[in-house]
Structure 1
Amino acid sequence: MRIPVLGGTQFVGRAIVDDALRTGAEVTLFGRGRTGTELFPGVPRLIGDRETGDYTALRHGSWDAVVDVSGYVPRHVGQAMDALEDRAGRYLFVSSHAVYQRAGVGPGATEDAPRRPPVRHTEQLSEDTYGPLKVACEDDVVARYGARATVVRPGKVAGPHDAQDTFTYWVRRAARGGRVALPADPGQPVQVIDARDLARLVVQLLADGRPGAFHAVGPDEPTTLGGLIETCARAAGSEIEIVPVSSEGRPPLFPLVRPDRSTQQRSPARARVAGLPATPLAVTAADVLAWDRGRGEPPLQVGYTPEEERAVLARHDSGALDG
C-alpha cells in the first residue's frame, strides 16, 4: 500500500508512519522538512507548507490512500485534496472529539452523537473554534471522497514523544511519590488513547478500506483520574497519596481535568471491531516514564511546579483550601 502522510514526523503522525512501515507499506512524508529530519531514513519526503498553501509536491504520483494528520482548517484540507485530485484511493482524516456538542451527551456516546456547527469564517484556533473547524474539515473530506472517506476522532492521546505534556505530567508526578495535590474530583472519568493504538487503528482502517467515523479512545477498562494517577505510580514503583484540593487558583487547563464528564466516556465499540488495540494503561505509563527520563525530564508546560504544589498542599493542610 502506498501512503503519503501529511504531517508524519511529530507524535501521532510519527506513530502512524512507524506502524505503516511495520506492515510493509510504502510511505511518503509530506511536510515542511523542519522537524524530525533524523527520522525514517530512506523514506521519501515531499516538501510543502500548509500555512502558505504549498501542496505542489502532491500533484505528482498516485497513492492507495492518504493520511492527513495536519489539517486544522478547511483551507488546509481543501488545498491538499485539490492537489491530489483523483490520485488517492482513500482520504483518512485525523479529527478530534472536539467536533461534538457538549450538552446532552450521555456516557457511551457513539460516533453518531451530534456535532457542533461547522465554522469557516476564521482560521484562528481557540477553544471555541477548534472543534467547529474540524467539523468543516470532516464535511469537506466526506463531500469530496464519499465512501472513500474515513474519519478518526481521537480522544486525549498519550505516549512517548508527546509534546503536550498532559499525560506526561501525571506520569512524572506519580513517579516522584508522596502526597499528590489534585485540584479536581479523583472520581472524574478519563479516557486516554495510546498513540500506538491510534496508529494501528489508522493503518488497519486503510488496509480494510473502511469508510465512516471511528472513535479512538481508551484504555480498555474505564478508569478515573485518580485511578490513572495510581496506575502511573504502580508503573513507576512509587507510593503516593492523592490529596483532593480546592480548584481555586488552579491553572485553567489542568492536565486531564475536564468539567464535562460525558466527554470522557465515549464508546470505542466501533473502533474495537475495526481493529483498535488496547494497550494497558500501565504499559503506556511505563513507556512514557522511560522516554521522559531519557530526554532529561525538561520543564513541563502544564500542571503545578513542585514549588507550587508544595504551597497548595501547605494551604490545604492549614485549612485555607478545602478539597
Structure 2
Amino acid sequence: MRILVLGGTAFVGRAIVDEALRTGAEVTLFGRGRTGTGLFPSTPRLIGDRETGDYDALRGAGDWDAVVDVSGYVPRHVGQAMAALGDRIGRYLFISSHAVYTRTGVGPGSDEDTPRRPPVRDTEELSEASYGPLKVACEDDVLARYGERATIVRPGKVAGPHDAQTGLTYWVRRAARGGRVALPGSPEQPIQLVDSRDLARLVVRLLLDDRPGAFHAVGPAEPTTLAGLITTCARVAGSEVEIVPVPAEAAPSFFPLIRPAAQWTDQQRSPARARAAGLTATPLATTIADVLAWDRERGEPPLEHGLSAAQEAKLLGA
C-alpha cells in the first residue's frame, strides 16, 4: 500500500508512519522539512508548507492508495491539499478531534453519532472556542469531496513517548518523585487516554481494510480516574504518593489533564466502533512506563504547564 502522510514527523504523525512502515507500506511524507529531519531516512519527503499554501510538490508527484492528514486544522489546509491531490488518491483519512462534539445533552458512553458543533469558516485562529468547529468544517469538506472514500478518526487525549505537550508527562514525572501530590481538581474525574501507538494501529488498519466512516480513538481499555492515573504512575515508578486535593483556583488556569465537571463526559466516549474496527488497547501501565523512560532519556526538560516544586510546596503548606 502506498500512503502519503501530511505531517508525519511529530508525535501522532510519527507513530502513524512507524506503524505504516512496520506493515510494509510505502510511505511518502509531506511537510516543511523542519522537524524530525533525522527520522525515517529511507522515506521519500515532499517539501511544502500548508500555512503558505505551498502544495507544488504534491502536484504531479504520483498517486497513492491513501492519504493520512495529520496536520489539517483549518478548512483552507484541507481544501488546498484536496485540490492538489484531486483523484490521484484512494482514501482520505482525516485526523480530527473530540472537540467537534457539542457539550450539551451528552451523557457517558456517547458514540460517533453524537451531534457536532456548528462549523466555523471565518477564522483561522485556533482557540478553545474555534478549534472544534474548525475541525467540523474540515470533516465536512473531506466528506463532501471524497464521500465513501473518506475516513474520519477522532482521537481523545493522546499519550505516549515523544509527546511535546505536558499532559501525561507531568503526572508521570510528578508521581515518580513520590510524597504528597497537589491535585487542583477532583480525584474522581474520569480520564481517557489513548496510546499514540494504538491510534496509529487503528489508522493503518482502517486504511488496509478500506473502511469509511467516523471512529473514536480512546482508551485505555479499563475506565480510570485522575486519582487512579496518578496512583498507577507511582506504582510504575516504584514510588508512593498521597494525593492532596487543593483548590482549583489556587493553581494555574490550565492544568495537565484536569477538566471542569461540565466536560467530564468528554472523557467517557464509547470506543466500541473503533474496537470492532481494530483499535488495540495498550495497558495504561505500559504507556506510563514508556513515557517515564522516554522522559528520563531526554533529560526531563522543563514542562510548559503544571506546578514547580516551589509552587506545589506553597499550595500544600496552605
Shorter-chain TM-score bucket reads over 0.9
> Which residue pairs with 1:116 in the alignment?
117
What stretches of structure 1 move > 4 A for 4+ residues in a row? none
Match of 2:64, SS state, is coil
The equivalent position to 2:310 in structure 1, one of 292, 307, 311, is 307
Distance 1:190 1:3 in 2: 32
> Which residue pairs with 1:7 in the alignment?
7
Deviation at 1:21, TM superposition (A): 0.1
Deviation at 1:302, TM superposition (A): 0.8
1:33 counterpart = 2:33: yes
Superposed, 1:63-102 pairs within 5 Å as: 63-102=64-103
Distance 2:244 2:192 in 1: 21
Name the Cα RMSD after superposition. Answer: 0.5
> Which residue pairs with 1:157 in the alignment?
158
Distance 1:314 1:160 in 2: 33
Match of 1:67, SS state, is strand
TM-score after normalising by structure 1: 0.97
The alignment covers a number of residue pairs equal to 315
> Which residue pairs with 1:148 in the alignment?
149
The equivalent position to 2:271 in structure 1, one of 268, 272, 282, is 268
Q: Is the 8 A contact 2:250 2:315 kept in 1?
A: no
Distance 2:299 2:123 in 1: 39
> Which residue pairs with 1:296 in the alignment?
299
Match of 1:180, SS state, is strand
Deviation at 1:247, TM superposition (A): 1.1
Match of 1:90, SS state, is strand
Q: Is the 8 A contact 2:184 2:250 kept in 1?
A: no
> Which residue pairs with 2:191 in the alignment?
190
Match for 1:272: what amino acid?
A: R
Deviation at 1:253, TM superposition (A): 1.5
Match for 2:300: what amino acid?
A: E
Match of 1:50, SS state, is coil
Deviation at 1:55, TM superposition (A): 1.0
Q: Is the 8 A contact 2:150 2:212 kept in 1?
A: yes
Deviation at 1:59, TM superposition (A): 1.2
The equivalent position to 2:283 in structure 1, one of 280, 293, 306, is 280
Match for 1:128: what amino acid?
A: A
Deviation at 1:165, TM superposition (A): 1.2
Q: Is the 8 A contact 2:8 2:29 kept in 1?
A: yes
Match of 1:193, SS state, is strand
Distance 1:18 1:232 in 2: 26
Aligned-residue identity in percent: 77
> Which residue pairs with 1:256 in the alignment?
257
Match for 1:117: what amino acid?
A: P
| Greater CA drift, 216-225 or 242-251 | 242-251
Distance 2:221 2:227 in 1: 16
Match of 2:90, SS state, is coil
Deviation at 1:249, TM superposition (A): 2.4
Distance 2:151 2:68 in 1: 9
Gaps of 5+ in 1: 316-323
Q: Is the 8 A contact 2:185 2:248 kept in 1?
A: yes
Match of 1:64, SS state, is strand
Gaps of 5+ in 2: none
Distance 1:85 1:234 in 2: 51
Deviation at 1:244, TM superposition (A): 0.8
Match of 1:28, SS state, is strand
Match of 2:93, SS state, is strand
| Greater CA drift, 132-141 or 256-265 | 256-265
Match for 2:279: what amino acid?
A: L
Deviation at 1:85, TM superposition (A): 0.5
Deviation at 1:148, TM superposition (A): 0.4
Match for 2:281: what amino acid?
A: A
Per-residue displacement from partner, 1:190-221 (whole Å, max 9, x unpaired)?
10100000000000000001101000000000
Match of 2:103, SS state, is coil
Distance 1:284 1:23 in 2: 22
Distance 1:97 1:251 in 2: 24
